[in-house]
Structure 1
């Protein structure tokens, strides 16, 4: 970013005006938007008003990564060196021998003591640890069918597969990750200063309880001992309080639940760049404000409750970005576009120059320009859709090795903000780049194609002139069904404009007829002739007609 200052005339340099260019470093501003509906939670992260991350989850979803369950072994699979464990999901979860953790025997000893202990639980730091299991051992040596085990969700159910489990338990905080049944202290390698890493390691070794390990996260850099000690005590207290209830639990029960989804995202991505958090639900706003006050007391004021009638994502233009960024074809620069295909095994992304090639003075330079811009958009798409597994990118062919190297370096730079583990390989001589990205939850898929506005996908056309009567009839039945007039009608913006034009407008007549508590809201997420009616008194529950 540049600012241009125009100075006054200076006699000693000929009386001419002087233009002074001052370079100001660009500051990335981050905003979080949380939209809460009766059945779905939508979380959007914007950086400089550009959508970079999106989460859509059902309110009643279970088996979130980080949840710790009391499970029961259903079947031992010696050929896979793994076991299937019942944690309450429709399909048994998968637990491999290598995911048991070296201190599995100590974990089982603790579990057996906790099951028979009186109210108050068992102090882990007072337990004598058992020998580590053999890392080359067999699953049948340590587990048997019907055995109860404590397990943690490492990967959410994806497609036809059940959850992936681990017995190396951990509880994540803002600065630290607590590791019960371990004594190791590890420090994030992203902290570049060796002196700071040594300081943090010595500090945690001196304050952590016995039989608890700690991973020091990157955000802990520069933190004082009092702050880290407070968080460590909070995490150990959470472990003690949760495990104290084990004696009363039966298999398939949740032992330690991950914190709220919004708070978990804040815990991982909260940074000084955040300048606002908008939440459409009063209760969740209160919860997030308390959490922000805990991890960053001076930033509590950035959490704001959104009270507008227009849907949150429509008000801030997020819905429009979602429609543009999801789908098979994604445009990104001067006519260039990506084609994104998904298969069961991997994802394929094809880079196309579009109409850029028509005006290109140099094919090689055009290819480089488009590929560099594509690298940024591809990194954004991977975060947005949470694409995991193997991703193959077919860039536009470039003859020069230094240009292929530039694209490789650009991709690594663009992927730096991505918190998910990933690996990027240089371009092959065919212009293909391979990327692997850890997959811990199902990929986010949003259907951007809309149903035909006249037939709604049936192939038969209803008389469009009857839409007004259909809307009024639905409103009338909703008022009678709910026995209250505090309802909201959501329609496409074009239909909203039609219903509110003139005086008295059609909708104003409906308000006279059915009660002034009726509201009309335009929502770009609806197709042209689609509409929905919500009961405002019952937490905006959708009215089924």
Structure 2
């Protein structure tokens, strides 16, 4: 199984495609005006406190105030607020988190009015990007993600990813991190830390502490709405999360960005620096790797499957609905139950890819083809969970209901990706208007001449809109009669009201359609 990262750099940002065995499984668009990315830390101002919601609305520079709930303040919000005051306006702040005296934790069931007040400045982190009409979602439980660990200031706990199941390895990692982490810093150990030695973990920890201290240094001169610590670009953050032993190549069409990525990989995984390549081909990079074609085929409302079945994907404000249809697959097998099972299994694989590809979040309802066999239902449920395992977003999959519906919830932290796959109509060029219908007569006569003189057909029938039919046949000396004198062959003209004014067909003597280029 090969993994490739293809990066197309543009003036306004860039496009990032993750390919697995040449198939597109993840796609990201970066824009130069993306100022509110998950992970960014801002100095915000509390604009409004809503006791009924036990929440506050915070101004971080977005057109709508961001939302901060009491439960997202974190237990050590008082320590964070005190720390901010100690650094604001100080030219040479020398208070570090590990030397800082922590304040008492807040009550989990407390009120936000006891902690925050209007116009107060607080340090907040974006945990959900602006989606639809909603502003960003914030948290005061700050965290900085690295390659192997996540650093949590103003915490003392050390926790390990649940995906590391070996109890001895979990104990080893906790023991190592506890011995090297600074005071008043918590650490979450990521899955990729499994089997890593203390030197690699310590290097990652040191870089994150340095990043935190650099951001804290900005507090002395920072103004409201300023970004104190920015999350790295999506290309680097994607590398940080997916770079592993099976990653084969990273191909970039911009020399400067390729060098930047090389430097980043040199820091986090020096042995993989050689997989970064600068693309210099003549055709565009996304065309060369077949990505443009996959984008057109995969982002439409209808997604075709290899067997002839297809998915119909609909989006609403509250949820996403996916309908599985057997298409022409239904006629290829005699057993209806087997057909339904095979189509559903194939659809499940594609649905797992579509959720990740489009970054669909919230509630997803899938209408699979009805199956009666309970074992088939169980196998389908297990298959969906298996296919979703590689998804980096948090998700929950529920078994099929008695109506054949499956419900999935998937973490939603940024707007769903939507690629426009519709193209301009070649007839009207997107204007909704066509050329003068009278010109269709010239086209018909030109093609008729070709059929009669070059292909030497006889017994021709022309099928047209009723208006065009009248144009060719009415009158004492009609155009059809003129054709007879010219070609010495009688042309039948039939009218079909289902055709558009500019549509027409030719049939031969055997009632077969004649294809004319």
Settle same-fold status: TM greater than 0.5.
yes
Distance 1:37 1:365 in 2: 48
Who is 2:19 aligned against?
Answer: 46
2:178 partner SS: helix
**1:272-303 residue CA offsets vs partner (Å, 9 max, x unmatched):** 11111011112211111111111111110100
- 1:202-217 superposed matches below 5 A: 202-217=175-190
Who is 2:282 aligned against?
Answer: 309
**Structure 1 residue ranges without an equivalent (≥5):** 1-27, 464-545
Distance 2:417 2:429 in 1: 24
Who is 1:145 aligned against?
Answer: 118
Once the 2 structures are TM-superposed, how far is the Cα of residue 109 of structure 1 from its aligned partner? 0.6
The reply on whether 1:403 has 2:376 as its aligned counterpart is yes
Who is 2:30 aligned against?
Answer: 57
Who is 2:207 aligned against?
Answer: 234
The reply on whether 1:425 has 2:367 as its aligned counterpart is no
- 1:81-480 superposed matches below 5 A: 81-461=54-434
**1:372-412 residue CA offsets vs partner (Å, 9 max, x unmatched):** 11110000000000000000000000001110001000000
Once the 2 structures are TM-superposed, how far is the Cα of residue 455 of structure 1 from its aligned partner? 2.6
Normalised to the residue count of structure 1, the TM-score between the two structures is 0.79
Q: Is the 8 A contact 1:121 1:240 kept in 2?
A: no
2:313 partner SS: strand
Distance 2:419 2:242 in 1: 23
Once the 2 structures are TM-superposed, how far is the Cα of residue 461 of structure 1 from its aligned partner? 4.4
Distance 2:339 2:331 in 1: 10
Distance 1:59 1:265 in 2: 17
Q: Is the 8 A contact 1:75 1:84 kept in 2?
A: yes
Distance 2:159 2:89 in 1: 33
Moved over 4 A (4+): none
Distance 1:69 1:80 in 2: 23
Distance 2:360 2:378 in 1: 24
1:94 partner SS: strand
Matched residue pairs, number? 436
Q: Is the 8 A contact 1:180 1:213 kept in 2?
A: yes
Which has the greater radius of gyration? Answer: 2
Distance 1:400 1:372 in 2: 14
**Structure 2 residue ranges without an equivalent (≥5):** 437-517
Q: Is the 8 A contact 1:151 1:169 kept in 2?
A: yes
Normalised to the residue count of structure 2, the TM-score between the two structures is 0.83
Distance 1:193 1:117 in 2: 47
2:425 partner SS: coil
**1:90-115 residue CA offsets vs partner (Å, 9 max, x unmatched):** 11000000000000000001000011
2:305 partner SS: strand
Who is 1:67 aligned against?
Answer: 40
Who is 2:2 aligned against?
Answer: 29
Deviates more, 1:115-124 or 1:151-160: 115-124
**1:474-508 residue CA offsets vs partner (Å, 9 max, x unmatched):** xxxxxxxxxxxxxxxxxxxxxxxxxxxxxxxxxxx
1:36 partner SS: strand
Once the 2 structures are TM-superposed, how far is the Cα of residue 456 of structure 1 from its aligned partner? 2.4
Distance 2:306 2:154 in 1: 52
Q: Is the 8 A contact 2:303 2:311 kept in 1?
A: yes
1:244 partner SS: helix
1:458 partner SS: coil
The CA RMSD measured in Å over matched residues stands at: 1.1
Distance 1:153 1:146 in 2: 19
1:245 partner SS: helix
Q: Is the 8 A contact 1:185 1:201 kept in 2?
A: yes
Who is 1:507 aligned against?
Answer: none
Who is 2:509 aligned against?
Answer: none
Who is 2:501 aligned against?
Answer: none
1:355 partner SS: helix
1:135 partner SS: coil
1:313 partner SS: helix
